[in-house]
Amino acid sequence: MDTSAERWIGRSEALGRLGVKAQTLYAYVSRGRITARPDP
């Protein structure tokens, strides 16, 4: 079993888990604190 698989979450879930506003989430991404990727 591969336990290294990454699980990506959506913007809404990230906002809820981090307890921040969208503006802060985008700042985290732009500063490289978290990784974002486009939805396929």
**Residues 6+ away with beta carbon under 8 Å from 17:** 9
pLDDT at 39 over 90: no
Q: Write phi, then psi, for 12 (nearest 5 degrees).
A: -60, -45
Tell me the per-residue pLDDT of 19-36, one tens digit each, with 9 for 90 and over. 999 999 999 999 999 999
**pTM of the entire predicted model:** 0.74
Q: Which DSSP symbol is given to 31?
A: T
